[in-house]
Structures are given as C-alpha cells and as structure tokens.
Amino acid sequence: MRLAVIGAGAVGRSVVELAGEHGHEVVAVADSSSAVVSDGTDGSGGAVGVDADAVVARKAERGIVGDDDPADALAADYDALVEATPTTLGDAEPGFSHVRTALERDRHVVLANKGPVAERYGDLRALAADSAGDVRFEATVGGAIPAVSTVEDIEPSHVTAVRGVLNGTANFILTRMAAEGLDYDHVLSEAQDLGVAEADPSFDVDGTDAALKCVILANVLSFGAADDPADAREFTLADASVEGIRDVPGSVLRLAAEDGRTVRLIGEATGETVRVAPRLVHENGTLAVSGTQNIVQIETTHAGRLNISGRGAGGPETASAVLGDVGRLG
C-alpha cells in the first residue's frame, strides 16, 4: 500500500522507517513546515517511494523532511494517509482537516493522533460513511497493545468494560514512589532526567492522556454496540471524570503497601461512562504493571476477562500498531 505520513515526530519517523518491512511504500512525508513527495516512478513504470533514511536524516540535521510544501503531501497519490501529528483537543485541528481531505478523496486513514477520535468521533464516522476509505486508529490506545482491534474482534456489544493502565509516565512515577518511598516531585524530576516524563508533564500526570484513550474506547463501545450510529452516544474529553496523580502523597502508597496493595492510575471505559483516577489495586495483581508498562483489561460477556500488557508508547511500538492497521485495510 502507498502511504502518506503526516507528522514527523517519533511515531511518524518510525512509520517511515518500518513501512518497507511491512511491504508498504511511503510516497509522501510531511511535518508542519515541509514535505517530501515521491514522483512515484522509477522511470520504467515501477513505483518508488521516498528514501526513508534520507527523510530521517534531514529531519535530524535540518529540522525539515524535504523541500516540498506540506499541502503537496496531502495531495499526493497515496492509498492510506497516516495521521501522526501531535494530539490537539477541541476541534482537533489540524489533524482533523488532514483526515477530512483524505476521506473526501476516498482514501483510507490510519490515525496515531488521538484528537480526532477522542474529540470528534461523530464527525469522523460521518465523513467515513460518505467515503470509500476506512478509518483505523489502533495506535491511539495503548501503543503496541492491540486494544481496539481486540474489542472489535470480540464485538463491542459483547464487551461490558475496558479498563487498564494507559499512561506509562504516570505508571513509572507511581511505581518509583512505591518502591523507593519517595515523593511525587522527587520521582518526577528523575523521570524527566530519564526522558520518561516531558518538561511539562501535565498531559500525563493529570490523567488527560489516559482519559483520551478511554474516551476513544468508550466511543468504540458505544458506536460499535449501536444498530444505528445516530443512536450511539458520542464521548469527548468533557464527558470523562478525570483525576490525576500530581497530588498523591507518598504516604498513600505507604499505607497501601502495608496492606498488600498499591496505587495505579486506572482508566475505565464502558458505553456509558469514562473515569480515570488513582485506584487501589493488589500489589501483585494483574493491573499492577511496573514502570512504563501498560495493560488493557477487557471485560466480556462470553469470553471472560482478557488482559493484554505491553509497551504503551514509543516510536517503533506505536508505528507497529499503525502498520498493523494499514495491513487490516482492504
């Protein structure tokens, strides 16, 4: 499949690098200010993509991916658009417009950007309904973990709830606080030194990132279980009850540990509610994953409880989910 990759952060770059291994070809790459578009042929009729190594090198050295205009990448001759620009809230722009452009051209879209799926799921479904292209977004929830496709396989109407640890940064901080008896601020600076937490960690530690993932799952459950999409309840971040870990004192983890428990930032989604909050879990329980690990627990009507754990973030990990989606496109 011919891919246009919009967004040249860790995920976008990894998609460009790994697409060939999955049998796909990248014909265009864009970041916010530049683009590179392949002319599509090797002179004898065979298709040729952009040079992945050159794109990555230019991005590292000069901060641009090529000498073309970003609009050229959106207009390129691709089969699927990979939207991997940073997540934005509210109108989810510019990601949403990129998705619209591709769907209106009857092309497929694979999202790594959570904004359009969390904030404008109804609009997205409506655009997809009028398009010959499909929309997939496995990479938006739990990185490498196949959360969305597992829910789809079981069928949303047979899934009663999805919960889990969906933010590696918050989980790393809680794990270290419990293991070392340290306070939040101390562990946060350690996480920032290690590159596990960003300079502004709000998105992760306030629970927003985990909430967006749960909102996406709630949309999958709600729209997937409805006979008519018009009857489905649409969720956005505003519908989520969100508590973060910023204020959790070390003494909470100590009291929990005395009783064989620990604290994890748990997100829960059903077709009716979305909640993210620090919760007590058993210290050696399934949900008490360590460090930056994530886990998704799916509660089903007929198949019991499924647990899938793994890496919830990272360029190659998330790119694997993106390329898995590309493989599912018909």
Partner 1 sequence: MPDGLRAFRGGGRVSDTRDGAPEEAADAADPAADGGHDPAPSTHTVRLELVDEPGQLLAALQPIANNGGNLLSIYHERGNKTPRGRIPVEVDFEATTERFEGIVEALREEGITVMQAGTERYAEEITLVLFGHLIDTDLSDTLSRIEASASASVADVSLAAPQGTEEVSSARLRLEARSGETSEAIAAVREVAEEKELRVVAPLAGVEA
Among 187, 248, 276, 319, binds partner 1 (CB under 8 A): 248
Q: Does 152 bind partner 1 (CB under 8 A)?
A: no
DSSP string, 110-167: EE--HHHHHH-HHHHHHHHHTSSS-EE-GGGSSTTS-HHHHHHHH-GGGEEEEEEE--
213 in active site: yes
Provide the sign of the torsion angle of the four alpha carbons 108, 112, 113, 116, taken in this order: positive
DSSP string, 307-327: EEEEE---HHHHHHHHHHHHH
Binding-site size for partner 1 (CB under 8 A) equals: 27
Q: How far is the CB of 266 from partner 1 (least distance, A)?
A: 7
- Closest by CA to 221, choosing from 307, 121, 89, 303, is 121
Of residues 98, 114, 213, 275, which has the active-site annotation? 213
Round to whole Å and give the CA distance between 34 and 253.
47
Q: Which is nearer to partner 1, 120 or 279 (CB)?
A: 279
Q: Which amino acid is located at 32 in the chain?
A: S
Which window, 42-50, 111-119, 200-208, 243-251, contacts partner 1 (CB under 8 A)? 243-251
- Closest by CA to 207, choosing from 173, 243, 163, 172, is 243
Q: How far is the CB of 256 from partner 1 (least distance, A)?
A: 6
Place of tokens 């790393």: 172
Among 162, 287, 298, 322, binds partner 1 (CB under 8 A): 287
Q: Does 225 bind partner 1 (CB under 8 A)?
A: no
Q: Does 160 bind partner 1 (CB under 8 A)?
A: no
Q: Which is nearer to partner 1, 194 or 255 (CB)?
A: 255
Among 55, 80, 232, 263, binds partner 1 (CB under 8 A): 263
Round to whole Å and give the CA distance between 221 and 270.
7
Round to whole Å and give the CA distance between 262 and 271.
28
Which window, 15-23, 50-58, 66-74, 279-287, contacts partner 1 (CB under 8 A)? 279-287
The β-bridge partners of 310 are 294
Q: Does 177 bind partner 1 (CB under 8 A)?
A: no
Which window, 34-42, 82-90, 139-147, 242-250, contacts partner 1 (CB under 8 A)? 242-250
Q: Write out the catalytic residue numbers.
A: 213
**Interaction site with partner 1 (CB under 8 A):** 163, 243, 247-252, 254-256, 258-259, 261, 263, 266, 268, 277-282, 285-288
